[in-house]
A and B are shown apart, each in its own frame.
Chain A
Amino acid sequence: MQAFTTLTSIVTPLELSNVDTDQIIPKQFLKRIERTGYEDYLFFDWRQDPGFVLNNPAYGGSHILVAGKNFGCGSSREHAAWALEQYGFRCVIAPSFADIFYSNAGKNGILAITLSEAEVERLLLQAKTADGYRLTVSLESNTIEDESGFATSFQIDPFRRDCLLQGLDDIGLTLRHAALLSAYEQKHDTENWLLARA
């Protein structure tokens, strides 16, 4: 996983609440067995509309997406995080995120930042109206700043922050507890009602 430290980028405004993962990556692309090559399918149906924000050249090369509340709701498909990351989005800012998406984002080096509704509305407005509106997001200092004096800080779980800063792989982290796991398993396996096949 790619580490996340500091990022400065143009901001793409997606002024919609409840953007679901069916929209982020429509089902027809879930049949692939590969883990790469999803960038062209990000928001595939919405991109058919020439007016859709990703089709606006003003936001070309953007790495930061700002959206309405409950971003990433619906299906657990990690393809949504793959598509965002492979398209180039390393940071998504919204008033709230759906749980599974939030976790998938972190595992793919995407920093998902929760800000207040008011702050997000402000960022959306700026990104829509100010030409080339840019933000600098620093995970090292937990801050977001623009170039005209707006600055705020954000909260993030310290463990998740560490993993992102260092680009750590979860399985490796868990296997540090192998001894505890085998002791647990030995005892747990004797409880027959908790076996998959009793």
Chain B
Amino acid sequence: MSQAKTLFEKVWEQHIVAEPAGEPTILYIDLQLVHEVTSPQAFEGLRLAGRRVARADRTLATVDHNVPTDKDRIHIKDPIAAKQIEALRKNCAEFGVELFDVNSVDQGIVHMIGPELGATKPGMTIVCGDSHTSTHGAFGALAFGIGTSEVEHVLATQTLPQSRPKTFRIAVEGELPHGVTAKDIVLGIIGRIGTDGATGYAIEFAGSAIRALSMEGRMTICNMSIEAGARAGMIAPDETTFAYLEGRRFAPKDADWERAKQEWRKLPTDEGAAFDRELLIPAHELTPYVTWGTSPGMVVGVTDVVPDPSLGETEADRNGLARALEYMDLRAGTPIEEITIDRVFIGSCTNARIEDLRAAAKVLAGYQVHANVRGMVVPGSQQVKAQAEREGLDHVFREAGFDWREPGCSMCLGMNPDILQPGERCASTSNRNFEGRQGKGGRTHLVSPAMAAAAAVMGRFTDIRTWQYRTASREAEVLA
């Protein structure tokens, strides 16, 4: 019998094309996802070298980073953004790549549409010129972000030279406390191991708390594994995975579907397989989290206070912490629940799936957004937006005073017109709180969708565990 293997090892080994001595492994790539921002120079490189896209049938493209989120978004006012999107259209047409353009019913954030279309499947290798490609690991795929030279490499060869990462199992065991969500699990993990805590590793998230999550929650966790520095995050496929995929457009059908499930059931880590590193987190230790600084690892529980920068280990660390406090305009010792906000952003490939919108809407039902706060919901994809509208969630958001917008990355990174003004403070369901990420001078606090919605109502952060849910409207009753 062959020795016990991890999920990562199985997927890795099935994709080895060549292992030249002393060089990185040449890994086969099953699917490359493409978007407008990191691809133009790659297509240009192909053209200059007279190369073709090797496997257009293993390549899918969409527009997400730059697209405006207002109704009239076919006409992009920013000429440079318009040129970049036009370049993607031309490149896809020239090289035969299927594009889910802004008017497609399947358009959305690149990491939303892969799973929704059933293009993302267990056991695959998936890359994209975007660091949050780790999202797709929720299906038991090995998925990671790459740079533009690598995008070109995969377009040209459908392979990638890769050195093998080490393996890291993070088990979250037990039942999640009330009010603690997938977002809090991952923020809690990053808070413990740091933003470079998993550098060089592929993480497998395991344990009963992870297995109990929906695919939406699993995607939220794998999405942010890159914020811990991990090459990839993975979760073993199971019945939850299969139920999500069944019947989706690019999922196998009929006899192929049964065959596929048989293969997928072989993927989970074998009993007794060894990891290079392991960490156990008891679920009951987790709370709702809020980031206070300018890196996702700068995070504390909602009932905690802003920490003291003098606790950093090195001079560079202390500088970083002090700089973060200054940028965020916060003082050490301030209770998180006393921090008031100006904006709320519910969106991004971390938390703009249907379940996220349901959670936020459930909090908002029967409430109004605080007078000092502007709230914005940007569904992650056209499919999510349509589903939410069928469920009447758009009414709940609108009645509460939120702006209901068209899908895209939006204020997750503010490459389109959706940005924070200098000094504005935002409760955001996205994944990065870097300086200026949501707009120059803007201050971002990362939270779960329910925490963001509650903050919108209160005008400050508040502990979702004590929230009084109301069901004022008919839609809200349906939700409850």
Contact = CB atoms under 8 A, between A and B. Distances in A.
Interface of A: 15-18, 20, 22-23, 26-28, 30-35, 45, 67-70, 73-79, 81, 96-100, 103-104, 107-108, 117, 120-121, 124, 157-159, 170-171, 173-177, 180-181, 184-185, 188, 191-198
A194 B256 contact: no
A69 B130 CA distance: 22
Given A98-B229, A198-B251, A35 B41 contact: yes
A34 B80 CA distance: 11
Given A117-B314, A174-B153, A193-B123, A28 B432 contact: no
Given A96-B199, A98-B196, A177-B18, A31 B66 contact: yes
B263 A191 contact: yes
A120 to B, nearest CB: 8
A81 B147 contact: yes
A68 B147 contact: no
Contacts of B129: 76, 78
Contacts of A33: 40-41, 44, 83-84, 87
B70 interface: no
Contacts, number: 218
Contacts of B28: 181, 184-185, 188
B131 interface: yes
B436 interface: yes
Contacts of A76: 38, 129-131, 145-147
B415 A77 contact: no
Given A30-B415, A76-B145, A96-B196, A159 B256 contact: no
Interface residues of B, number: 86
B149 A107 contact: yes
Nearest to A19: B320
A18 B229 CA distance: 11
B287 interface: no
B147 A124 contact: no
B69 to A, nearest CB: 16
B57 A194 contact: no
A184 B17 contact: yes
B436 A157 contact: no
Contacts of B37: 30-31, 77
Contact of B199 (A45, A68, A99, A157): A99
Contacts of B118: 198
The 3 A-B pairs of least Cβ separation, nearest first, read: A68-B316, A193-B260, A78-B147
B26 A174 contact: yes
A121 B314 CA distance: 9
A185 B231 CA distance: 25
B449 to A, nearest CB: 22
A159 B437 contact: no
A161 to B, nearest CB: 10
A175 B436 contact: no
A20 B295 contact: yes
B37 to A, nearest CB: 5
A76 B37 CA distance: 11
Given A68-B320, A181-B18, A194-B123, A108 B149 contact: yes
B35 to A, nearest CB: 11
A99 B200 contact: yes
Contacts of A100: 131, 145-147
B315 to A, nearest CB: 7
A124 B75 CA distance: 49
Given A99-B231, A196-B59, A197-B250, A16 B323 contact: yes
Contacts of A34: 41
A96 B194 CA distance: 13
A20 B49 CA distance: 32
B435 A74 contact: no
B98 to A, nearest CB: 8
B196 A70 contact: yes
Contact of A173 (B22, B161, B315, B434): B161
Nearest to B49: A171
6 contacts: A18-B320, A27-B413, A68-B314, A159-B23, A184-B28, A197-B57
A177 B229 contact: no
B158 A185 contact: yes
Contacts of B40: 33
A173 to B, nearest CB: 7
Contacts of A192: 252, 256, 259-260
B44 to A, nearest CB: 7
A17 B18 contact: no
A108 B323 CA distance: 30
Contacts of B177: none
Contact of A78 (B49, B57, B148): B148
Contacts of B130: 75-76
Interface string B82-95: 01100100000000
Interface in B2-45: 17-18, 20, 22-24, 26, 28, 30-31, 37-38, 40-41, 44-45
Contacts of B123: 193-194
A171 B152 contact: yes
B316 A181 contact: no
B157 interface: yes
B58 interface: yes
A83 B124 CA distance: 33
Nearest to A36: B41
